[in-house]
Structure 1
């Protein structure tokens, strides 16, 4: 029996080796099956790009592509004022975090400015109403 076959970790190789050993001791022909493992896909190396050499517009375009969003010019999103309803009280974050305590949330009746798309989502969920 070939010791290299046993250390390869392949069950088929071990079975083939034991079948050969049986055939040798009994004098009969060993019935072995040809078990081939599927070929592993070859990974292609990615092209290397020096990210520091890219200008700001290229980085913004790349980030937008990766986020699957279109590039929106600054200030083109309409801002609207919303008022927090009972359902949204304590659920809409102000974006501020107090270390050791947690996130700060808007309370019932408070108003704040937000992008129109976000305001529509909050209103649809019943968390706020557009003023």
Structure 2
């Protein structure tokens, strides 16, 4: 029975941490983005995020994006400096072409930093990218 369940593979969906200037406060903040580099829109995108390391754990955050169009991106959440020292997990589920998809993305502790910046797909910015 279990062998008959089809679990489609997630492709062209990325999570990125981007360092940006906060216009109101003038600070340089890290923000998490979801990037759809695919040719199809994603519907009912559910994002559950949390930070953890041993006995340290953040609150669980939940976000929804009704539709993430093809070749687009959306800001998910602000990443406070203190949580960068933790593992930051983003569990993402969505529908596309009548099928449900799911994938976990994990920024390992201390991997979100200036040295890890690279060009991001779809966005015209640099960031730390998870595929």
Q: TM-score, normalised by structure 2?
A: 0.19
> Which has the larger strand fraction?
2
Q: Which has the larger radius of gyration?
A: 1
